[in-house]
Amino acid sequence: MQAPTTNSPSFKPLPRAIDILNGKHQMLDWSGVDAATWSSYVRDPSLAAAIAAANHPELHQRLTRARVRGFCLRQNVHLELRAAAVMGWGRAGGKGYAHAPTLWAARHLWLPLLERLPHLSRKEAFREFRALRSRGDLPGMGPAYFTKLIFFFGSGTGYILDKWLAASVQVLNATHWTLDPNGLPVFTWRSSNFPKLNHQRTMVVDQVTSEEYERFCEILEDLAPLLRLADGEAVEQLLFSSSTWRAFVREHCLSVKTSTRSKLSQRGTSGRTPPPMI
């Protein structure tokens, strides 16, 4: 199969990475926490009361991705409650939910955008969220989180861009690899690698543009046939949930304890000599 074409001529899939992903499709379903539990970290009595009064059992259940998506599309459910379901699914608020109260207190600034998302392209949606972020109207919510809102409230083709997806696309890109004197592929981490991570490699940078987000989404869609998957959403889920792939990404891209040049072992991750890089 030919390499996919994308808006980025520099993106060329690494065959070894494709082989790892095709070796075993591990599609685990993340479920986060339920909205009621998440509301306890917000420390907003009105949200807890609204959840308790609502006749929606989903607010008290750990929902799968598909169920969150279905719940967000229900117009008979108050917008705040649907947003809380996404917040719980994604464990919004950072480590220990420290930013959850501030994030939720600013909801009047970003909730109106959720109602408009079905009518916006993913590129337009990202641009609007980024404008809110630039004005300081999205406290505690960067690209990794507001792309979740784009996915669940939008058309379903705006994919989640968190550190795992950014690192995955970096590792999948053969242009980020070179060959050592023995002919083995070596990954080189640079802060300029696309999609961009911060220097600690803990999050996607705030400076991601709507054009870069569109490019990221198109890359996932172009990878679908190579990975024998239906669409970009399935690719996103695979890159996020496969434990084998996560270990590979962690070793070569997300480990700051190792050199920025990370080499595939002589025998590879599966015990076989790795194929040529390109």
| Contact indicator for 83, 104 with CB cutoff of 8 Å | no
Tell whether 146 is covered by a domain.
Answer: no
* Distance from C-alpha of 216 to C-alpha of 85, rounded to nearest angstrom: 26
Q: Is residue 9 domain-resident? A: no
Average pLDDT taken over every residue of the chain: 88
84 with 171, same domain? no
User: Are 44 and 60 in a shared domain?
Assistant: yes
**Helix residue ranges, H only, 90-142:** 100-105, 107-116, 122-134
What is the predicted pLDDT for the residue at 9? 40
Residues 186 and 121 in one domain: no
Q: Name the residue range of residue 203's domain.
A: 15-28+160-263
Domain boundary among the residues 81, 112, 140 is at 140
Do 23 and 74 belong together in one domain? no
What angle (nearest 5°) sits at the alpha carbon of residue 271, between those of residues 266 and 273? 45
Both tokens assigned to 82: 């649907």
3-class secondary-structure state, position 173: strand
pLDDT in tens, 248-273: 999 999 886 544 455 554 334 444 44
Point out the residues of the chain with pLDDT beneath 50. 1-7, 9, 258-260, 265-278
239 is a domain residue: yes
pLDDT at 275: 39
pLDDT digit string (tens) for 172-214?
999 999 888 888 888 998 889 999 999 888 899 999 999 999 9
Are 21 and 41 part of one and the same domain? Answer: no
CA distance 165 to 238: 10
Predicted confidence at residue 47, as pLDDT, reads 98
Question: 247 and 167, same structural domain?
Answer: yes
pLDDT reported for residue 24? 77
Query: pTM score > 0.75 for this model?
Result: yes
Q: Are residue 212 and residue 193 in the same domain, yes or no?
A: yes
Residue 261's pLDDT is what? 52
193 and 250: one domain? yes
Count up the domains in the chain and report the number: 2
Residues 132 and 194 in one domain: no
Q: Are residues 52 and 136 in the same domain?
A: yes
- Residue 210: CB atoms within 10 Å: 18
Instruction: List strands edge to edge, sheet with 261-263.
Output: 177-179, 185-188, 261-263
Whether 38 and 29 have beta carbons less than 8 Å apart is answered as no
- 246 and 189 co-located in one domain: yes
| Shared domain check, 103 and 50 | yes
In this predicted structure, what is the pLDDT of residue 106? Answer: 97
* pLDDT of res. 2: 40
Q: Is residue 5 part of a domain?
A: no
Answer yes or no: is 251 within a domain. yes
For residue 72, the model assigns a pLDDT of 98
Q: What is the DSSP string of 185-205?
A: EEEE--TTSSSPB-TTSSSB-
Type of residue numbered 42: V
Residue 4 within a domain: no
Alpha-carbon span 132 to 212, nearest angstrom:
17
Give pLDDT, residue 76. 96
